[in-house]
Amino acid sequence: MQRQLSSIALALTTLTSLATLAVSISPALSQSVATNSQPNKVTFFCREIFDKASSEKIPATVVWVPERKGHIRLIGWKSQALPPHITSQKRCEIVTQKFQKFYDNGSLNYLTHGINNGYPVICSIPNQGETCNGINQLFTIRPGSNPGIVLQRLIDTLGGKGGGVIIYQNSGQQIYIDMKEYFKKAPVENIPT
């Protein structure tokens, strides 16, 4: 009988210790999970999405917008990059990092198009009227492609025909995408991160 009471006392002590440990660990775990689940700032990711046109999964640059409590798809990467040895996945990772860098340093106010080193490019600029260069370039487009048309298609495809986020400058029909407006109006998607 004495032995049974000792075993019961030991079991109760162990349970009490485990319960105390669980209570002290639980808040830290829940904070960690909450912090890692969705960031509280605009954050860019490279994620795999389903492309309806090809019926395949492709890498895509997506952005978490905390004010919208959702993800917005920016660019699906299907075409070959320049140089041709870079995979769509690698291109997604490189460009996604650039989006984050430009956002963090305050220069992702507008997307526009231009030419850099003889290649058509899409770039990120803080103010309308600025031009593309090697510092603000997001990605290169295939030679012979019209970057203005590529930018227009990007917005048409991903933003539901633009929805008021495109601004045309009077001279030369330069296209600017207002990224703050885009983040407010673009469709939110369920994209696991």
**49 shares its domain with 78:** yes
What is the domain range of residue 92?
43-185
Query: For residue 16, what are the β-bridge partners?
Result: none
User: Does residue 58 carry a pLDDT above 70?
Assistant: yes
**70 shares its domain with 116:** yes
**157 shares its domain with 71:** yes
Q: What percent of the chain has pLDDT over 90?
A: 37
The DSSP secondary-structure symbol of 170 reads T
User: Does residue 130 carry a pLDDT above 70?
Assistant: yes
- Greatest alpha-carbon pair distance for the chain in Å reads 96
Is residue 191 a part of any domain in this protein?
A: no
Inter-residue contact 62 to 50 (CB < 8 Å): no
pLDDT in tens, 107-122: 999 999 999 999 999 9
**71 shares its domain with 11:** no
Classified as helix, coil or strand, 176 is strand
Higher pLDDT, 53 or 71: 71
Higher pLDDT, 159 or 155: 155
User: Does residue 163 carry a pLDDT above 60?
Assistant: no
Task: Say what the pLDDT of residue 24 is.
Answer: 32
Pick from 63-72, 105-114, 137-146, 164-173: least confident = 164-173
Give the whole-angstrom CA distance, residue 160 versus residue 163: 6
| pLDDT band for position 98 (cuts 50, 70, 90) | very high
End-to-end alpha-carbon separation of the chain, Å? 57
**29 shares its domain with 90:** no
Mean pLDDT across 135-143: 91
Angle at 90 between CA 52 and CA 160, to 5 degrees: 35
Sign for the pseudo-dihedral over CA of 118, 120, 126, 131? positive
Inter-residue contact 154 to 183 (CB < 8 Å): no
Is residue 193 a part of any domain in this protein?
A: no
Higher pLDDT, 83 or 174: 174
User: Does residue 128 carry a pLDDT above 50?
Assistant: yes
**50 shares its domain with 22:** no
Task: Say what the pLDDT of residue 90 is.
Answer: 92
